[in-house]
Amino acid sequence: MINKIRVIAIREYLSAVRTKGFIVGVILMPLLMGGGVVIQNFTKDIVDLDARTVAVIDRTPGQVLVPLLQRAAVRRDATDIIDKKTGKQTKPKFIVEPVDLSGDLQKTRLALSDRVRSGNLFAIVEIGPNVLDPKPVEAPTQPTEIPKTTDPYALIEATSDPDSLVHYSSNRPTYTDLREFIQRSLQPRIASERLNQSQATLDAMMRLFGTLVVPRGLASIDEAGTITFEPRQNEVLLVVLPIVMTMMMLVVVLVGASPLTTNIIEEKQLRIGEVLLGSVSPFQLMMGKLLGGVGTSLTLGVIYIAGAIFGAHQLGVLHVVSPLLIVWFVVFTVVASLMYGSLFVVAGAAATNVKEAQALMTPMMLIVVLPLFLIGPMINEPHGTIAQAGTFFPLSAPLVTMFRLTVPPGLPWWHIAIAIAGSALMMLTLIWIAGRVFRAGFLLVGRPASMRELIGWIVRG
Amino acid sequence: MAVIELEKLRKTFGDFVAVDDLSLSVPQGTLCGFIGPNGSGKTTTLRMIMRIYAPDSGKVMVLGNARHGPADDRVGYLPEERMLYKSMRVDEVLTYLSQLKGHKPSHQEINNWLDRLQLGGFAKRRVQTLSKGQTQKVQLIAVLISRPQLVLLDEPFSGLDPVNAVVLRDAILELKRSGTTVIFSTHDMSVAEQMCDAIVMIFRGKKVLDGPMTSIQSQYGRDTVRVRLRGAMPTSLIGVESMINFGQYQELRLTPQTDPQAVLRALLSHGAVELFEIAHPSLQDIFVRIASPAGALEGAA
């Protein structure tokens, strides 16, 4: 029995990996990925270096902030935008243009706006007259008074003296460098002035509101008896790593699993099925096809994972992925490919043509991506009730268990065992169902099987 | 020893009864023909023997095993709707299908089989470059190369030109000589008549005739006369119940008690007689007798 499954799996595997599509995929994907990096490197040097002129309406008494901005711009142009190795300019210069306030303010605003529209000016900055000494505003006390909006600045405007703000206007709102430059240049001075008004210093404020809670590794004792703290884990990576690994697993699974459906339908349409069923049982045929398909996806997976490890090594983040974690990743990718692949085998066995299969594949895809909906709750509670339920439910077990394995402190061995056993049992059940449905329905071409017929085939064979 | 034993087999598809109350036994070493018109239930019966279809009721025993299945490597099966992977080479596809029967053929073995079926030099050709007849012969080799004890062939002669039909016929007869039990279905009764030791006739899902060829024909007596007359045949003759025109000759069925010599004399009065042969009835004639409204299912009991 095993030998026949092996023979089918090898043929399916070889026929898949010898196709032009696979070879092109193997070569093209790294080329595309590598090409992306090359293009990024290449395009990062291609930037628009045209100077950006910003008109500054400084309404502060004595117009004390314009000179500050001008000095900051000169300093930036001299140092921050020059590549130290090559001496080449890498970013555009900022030119601060003070605006004469002798005329009508509204007309000045309009004239400057027209210059922005015509491309003569990049942006307008208007510094409110009270920016250094804001007048108290009656803050909303009831939540209902706070504007409900997705605009993050609406709350600031609603709770601030309008003359104490710095307004920035441009018709290129996505370019944030200039806005951030204005913020960075003005904030220390404005904050300092405002603190002076309240008899407080910036340092004092930092001490009051600075971070108190700092993560630290657990204490451990070495052979010499010295107690030290283990290194602190990178919190960003702790969130990113499970998501990245789960996604990678999902991609490998979908690459290998989804073609299984069309493969089985082609078998029906080519009328080869009966020739094969003269030699092997439907279960052997379906299992062989599944293993062949999974082998194909794992071949791609190995290539991509090797690329990912190389990339992680190049980026210097490989150390955060333990070798054991990579082993678990391979194990659960195989488990996931087999289990989810068997879903697509069932779809292929039940469908009579590609169009019908596409309709069936949508719910299958939903089942495969279902565990992704658990990622949100699992990030906060990787070993909570939802995560545990996901581990014990076969249709989500491979992805959820892999996710949990990446988050310290890992999970008990018996959780892993249940996840693997449950997935294996589910795969065998699905392949058994696929075999019965295929055997009963493989000659049914041109007419979709009704749900009643499908259930009948599963029950009676 | 019976190689196949079927007991009260029944298979329905929705409201349609494809096979009903079918029982039969095929002894070892027999060349048995499943005959009947298209849609009579021959293919469904073969599929139930192969366990591709599960019967609704009844019992199937193959090579003494009730729980056999397609995985039984002692049984070779050539389905009616047969295709091969077009992009594979002939030797690859033969190796693959043989391996599925638990046999790994050598290159020499493959080439010998190809030579026997006049396909020498085709081993490295892609299946998609073969003609229909060549493909059918490759499919037959795929069934036979693993040397099964029992071979089931569903309409093996359909679509073959006369030359390839003879090659296939010789291969089947050689199998029989080597002791292999062969069952093939056909709606062409003359083929079965020429080749088979035993016949199972199925009509509308029911077995209407079953037994050795000679005993079936004896059962219907020597009441048949084959005649070729120079000139037009009379539309009726005294003592002749029916006439079937086969083109090259006419087959006359005589009423009981009719003396064939009297018929010959009557024919001579109409013209020169080129052929006059007293024979058993042909399978076609027997089938017509059974399937005609008057004799429908006379042998089904």
**Residues B210-245 pLDDT 10s:** 888 888 877 777 788 989 988 888 888 888 988 888
Q: Which tokens in the block code for residue B270?
A: 């109409």
Mean pLDDT for all residues in chain A: 82
In angstroms, what separates the C-alpha of B78 from chain A's closest C-alpha? Answer: 7
Task: Return left, alpha or beta for A112; rule: phi > 0 is left, psi -120 to 50 is alpha, else beta.
Answer: alpha
Q: What phi, psi does A455 have (nearest 5°)?
A: -65, -40
In angstroms, what separates the C-alpha of B100 from chain A's closest C-alpha? Answer: 5
Tell me: pLDDT of A31 over 50: yes
In angstroms, what separates the C-alpha of A238 from chain B's closest C-alpha? Answer: 48
H or E segment and range at residue A127:
strand A123-127
By Cβ distance, the residue of A3, A11, A277 closest to B52 is: A277
In angstroms, what separates the C-alpha of B60 from chain A's closest C-alpha? Answer: 16
**pLDDT value of position B227:** 92
**pLDDT value of position A235:** 67
Tell me: pLDDT of A333 over 60: yes
A278/B79 CB distance under 8 A: yes
pLDDT digits (tens, 9 = 90+) for A44-72: 667 778 899 999 999 999 899 999 999 99
Average pLDDT, integer, range A357-368: 83
Tell me: pLDDT of A141 over 60: no
Q: For residue A247, what is the DSSP state? A: H
Tell me: pLDDT of A446 over 60: no
The residue ranking higher by pLDDT, A166 or A320, is: A166
By Cβ distance, the residue of A270, A272, A281 closest to B71 is: A281
Could you please report the per-residue DSSP string of A292-343? HHHHHHHHHHHHHHHHHHHHHHHHT-GGGS-HHHHHHHHHHHHHHHHHHHHH
- Chain A residues contacting B via beta carbons under 8 Å: 1, 3-4, 7-8, 11, 15, 270-272, 274-281, 284, 439-440, 443, 460-461
The residue ranking higher by pLDDT, A62 or A452, is: A62
The residue ranking higher by pLDDT, B223 or B71, is: B223
The number of helix segments (H) and strand segments (E) in chain A equals 17, 6
In angstroms, what separates the C-alpha of A283 from chain B's closest C-alpha? Answer: 10
Tell me: pLDDT of B297 over 50: no
With 0-12 / 13-18 / 19 or more C-beta atoms within 10 angstroms meaning exposed / middle / buried, residue A443 is middle
Tell me: pLDDT of A104 over 70: yes
B168-197 b/e (C-beta count within 10 Å ≥ 16 → b): bbebbeebbeeebbbbbbbbbbebbbebbb
**pLDDT value of position B299:** 45
Q: What percent of chain B has pLDDT over 90?
A: 28
Please answer whether residues B187 and B240 qualify as being in contact, where contact means their C-beta atoms are separated by less than 8 angstroms: no
Q: Which residues contact A363 (CB under 8 A, 6 or more apart)?
A: none
**pLDDT value of position B298:** 47
Q: Report the candidate in B229, B215, B223 with the shortest Cα–Cα distance to residue B279.
A: B223
Please answer whether residues A378 and A291 qualify as being in contact, where contact means their C-beta atoms are separated by less than 8 angstroms: no
B81/A15 CB distance under 8 A: no
In angstroms, what separates the C-alpha of A281 from chain B's closest C-alpha? Answer: 6
Highest mean pLDDT among A65-74, A313-322, A354-363, B157-166: A65-74
Average pLDDT, integer, range B205-214: 87
pLDDT digits (tens, 9 = 90+) for A164-205: 889 999 888 788 889 999 999 998 888 888 888 777 766 666
User: Residue length, chain B?
Assistant: 301
Tell me: pLDDT of A379 over 80: no
Q: Which residues contact B166 (CB under 8 A, 6 or more apart)?
A: none
Tell me: pLDDT of A150 over 70: no
pLDDT digits (tens, 9 = 90+) for B28-56: 999 999 988 888 899 999 999 988 888 88
The residue ranking higher by pLDDT, A386 or A234, is: A386
A274/B52 CB distance under 8 A: yes
Chains A, B: CB pairs < 8 Å: 67
Please answer whether residues A356 and A343 qualify as being in contact, where contact means their C-beta atoms are separated by less than 8 angstroms: no
Please answer whether residues B3 and B166 qualify as being in contact, where contact means their C-beta atoms are separated by less than 8 angstroms: no
B79/A11 CB distance under 8 A: no
In angstroms, what separates the C-alpha of B99 from chain A's closest C-alpha? Answer: 7
**pLDDT value of position A169:** 92
Q: Which tokens in the block code for residue A143?
A: 């939540």
Residues of A in contact with B13 (CB under 8 A): none
pLDDT range class, residue A23, cuts 50, 70, 90: confident
The residue ranking higher by pLDDT, A273 or A105, is: A105
pLDDT digits (tens, 9 = 90+) for A388-421: 888 999 988 998 898 888 877 778 889 999 999 9
In angstroms, what separates the C-alpha of A273 from chain B's closest C-alpha? Answer: 9
**pLDDT value of position B279:** 83
Please answer whether residues A202 and A194 qualify as being in contact, where contact means their C-beta atoms are separated by less than 8 angstroms: no
Residues of A in contact with B97 (CB under 8 A): 275, 279
**pLDDT value of position A289:** 92
In angstroms, what separates the C-alpha of A454 from chain B's closest C-alpha? Answer: 13
Residues of A in contact with B139 (CB under 8 A): 275
Residues of B in contact with A1 (CB under 8 A): 71
Query: For residue B49, what is the nearest residue in chain A, using CA coordinates?
Result: A278
With 0-12 / 13-18 / 19 or more C-beta atoms within 10 angstroms meaning exposed / middle / buried, residue A356 is middle
- Chain B residues contacting A via beta carbons under 8 Å: 50, 52-54, 69-71, 73, 76-79, 81-88, 96-97, 99-102, 139, 142-143
Residues of A in contact with B54 (CB under 8 A): 460-461
Tell me: pLDDT of A20 over 90: no
Query: For residue B68, what is the nearest residue in chain A, using CA coordinates?
Result: A281
Q: SS3 of A263, please?
A: helix
Q: How far apart, in whole angstroms, are the C-alpha atoms of residue A340 and residue A349?
A: 15
Please answer whether residues A378 and A403 qualify as being in contact, where contact means their C-beta atoms are separated by less than 8 angstroms: yes
**pLDDT value of position A215:** 67
A461/B54 CB distance under 8 A: yes
B100/A281 CB distance under 8 A: no
Q: How far apart, in whole angstroms, are the C-alpha atoms of residue B232 and residue B52?
A: 52
Three-state SS sequence of chain B = CEEEEEEEEEEEECCEEEEEEEEEEEECCCEEEEECCCCCCHHHHHHHHCCCCCCCEEEEEECCECCCCCCCCCEEEECCCCCCCCCCEHHHHHHHHHHCCCCCCCHHHHHHHHHHCCCCCCCCCEHHHCCHHHHHHHHHHHHHCCCCCEEEEECCCCCCCHHHHHHHHHHHHHHHHCCCEEEEEECCHHHHHHHCCEEEEEECCEEEEEEEHHHHHHHCCCCEEEEEECCCCCCCCCCEEEEEECCCCEEEEECCCCCHHHHHHHHHCCCCEEEEEEECCCHHHHHHHHHCCCCCCCCCC
Residues of A in contact with B147 (CB under 8 A): none
DSSP-derived pairing of the beta strands A94-98 and A123-127:
unpaired
Tell me: pLDDT of A375 over 50: yes
Query: For residue A269, what is the nearest residue in chain B, using CA coordinates?
Result: B83
**pLDDT value of position B5:** 92
In angstroms, what separates the C-alpha of B211 from chain A's closest C-alpha? Answer: 27
Query: For residue A1, what is the nearest residue in chain B, using CA coordinates?
Result: B71
Query: For residue A284, what is the nearest residue in chain B, using CA coordinates?
Result: B71
By Cβ distance, the residue of A4, A271, A460 closest to B83 is: A271
Cα-based angle B264, B266, B272 (whole degrees, multiple of 5): 70
Q: SS3 of A68, please?
A: helix
A277/B84 CB distance under 8 A: no
Q: How far apart, in whole angstroms, are the C-alpha atoms of residue A341 and residue B276?
A: 69
pLDDT digits (tens, 9 = 90+) for A212-238: 676 676 778 888 888 887 776 666 677
pLDDT digits (tens, 9 = 90+) for B156-201: 888 888 888 888 888 889 888 988 999 999 888 888 888 888 999 9
In angstroms, what separates the C-alpha of B219 from chain A's closest C-alpha? Answer: 36
Query: For residue B88, what is the nearest residue in chain A, using CA coordinates?
Result: A15
The residue ranking higher by pLDDT, B121 or B217, is: B121
pLDDT digits (tens, 9 = 90+) for B245-284: 888 888 888 888 888 899 999 999 888 999 999 888 878 8
A281/B99 CB distance under 8 A: no
**pLDDT value of position A307:** 78
pLDDT range class, residue A140, cuts 50, 70, 90: low
Residue with tokens 């590549």: A83
Q: Which tokens in the block code for residue A342?
A: 């068997």
Half-sphere exposure (CA, 13 Å, Cβ side) for A172?
16
Query: For residue A285, what is the nearest residue in chain B, using CA coordinates?
Result: B100
User: Listing from the earlier edge strand, what are the strands of the sheet with B273-279?
Assistant: B240-245, B250-254, B224-229, B273-279
Mutate to test the interface with B, among A275, A286, A289 (most CBs of B within 10 A): A275
By Cβ distance, the residue of B50, B85, B86 closest to A278 is: B50
Average pLDDT, integer, range A416-439: 92
Q: What phi, psi does A29 have (nearest 5°)?
A: -60, -50
**pLDDT value of position B300:** 41
Q: How far apart, in whole angstroms, are the C-alpha atoms of residue A8 and residue A1?
A: 11
Residues of B in contact with A277 (CB under 8 A): 50, 52, 70
By Cβ distance, the residue of B84, B97, B139 closest to A279 is: B97
Q: How far apart, in whole angstroms, are the C-alpha atoms of residue B49 and residue B227?
A: 41
ipTM of the complex: 0.77
